Structure 1
């Protein structure tokens, strides 16, 4: 669905350069008082919109990670041969927002029961996955997943994996802040994909962005 939309609506921008080169997933590149979290939740445009308003989030970068191809392009990733997932790198201030809260934002913006994509976007590149940058994040993410698995109100079974972070490759420039730069195209895609309808069914009032 998203690839079709891009082919029709972004014909003049698909050749745009990447935002930057590969980034060490373990560094924020934004100061010693900030930290990094990396989440894959299907369409990274939608994940940017979910995390940008959170107090304490300083920057979000759409990109690719988890695969075996160096410096992948959007076409490489959506070909389903690179092993990468569309992902979001979140740079945040731990004194303002906790990793545990970011995990809650993540869960309530994905369908964690879907092992073959997210919403209308099908394929491994649209999988939901948590890329933990250190042992503390791995522990927290696994504990959060276990709590959901034991909750009577959470969807099941949860197929989202928790894995160690690897190299993160920023996506092409036209993908960054897409929901802000192209609001009409973005809203059309999001509505057609049924993302909000599915999230409402899965999470009810907690869908999308839970309260702090």
Structure 2
């Protein structure tokens, strides 16, 4: 077993857990915060957009069963990679998209998939998703973990109202 971590920002972290959950080789998915200026931020602090943190999901996986490349293939179709002001109805710096790499191999792979996406001309605007070095990961409060399982009606309503599912269907399916 080769255990690794991948950290992705894709707007609201509630919507970024389910696509990766319950896949072979995925050991855990935690919602949290990365990239900001204060230690141990709370949801209330991060949602102001003043801390510099991204809402992220950190995935621990067995790369011999589910590769980093497969995670990247799942990541891109969850987001609008051309929006630098947030994602869908979630606006603000905390909802920007980013791939946080743990090592040089992850950086190279992430940059490669970003370049291929740009060259595909799938989108008329530039791909603005950042590729950044991983920094300290802060686990979000319990109520934000596995939100789609704990609050399925709220989760489904939020996805529908946000425009995320409509965007994904029209641009990725």
Give the unaligned 5+ runs of structure 1: 1-31, 206-212
TM-score of the pair, normalised by structure 1: 0.79
Q: Distance in 1 between matches of 2:139 and 2:23?
A: 21
Aligned equivalent of 2:16: 47
SS at match of 2:84: coil
Structure 1 residue 135 corresponds to structure 2 residue 135: no
SS in 1 for 2:18: helix
Q: Structure 2 length normalisation: TM-score?
A: 0.96
Indicate whether 1:163 and 2:161 are aligned. Answer: no
For the Cα contact (< 8 Å) 1:64–1:169, is it kept in 2? yes
**Is the radius of gyration larger for structure 1 or structure 2?**
1
**Aligned equivalent of 1:74:** 43
Segments of structure 2 that go 5 or more residues without pairing to the other structure are none
How far apart in 1 are the matches of 2:124 and 2:8?
A: 19
Match of 1:60? 29
Question: Whole-Å Cα distance in 2 between the matches of residues 180 and 104 of structure 1?
Answer: 23
Matches within 5 A, 1:113-128: 113-128=82-97
Number of aligned residue pairs: 173
Aligned residue in 2 for 1:96? 65
Query: Which protein is richer in strand relative to its size?
Result: 2
Runs of 4+ in 1 over 2 A off after TM superposition: 152-156
Q: Aligned equivalents of 2:8 and 2:122: distance in 1?
A: 23
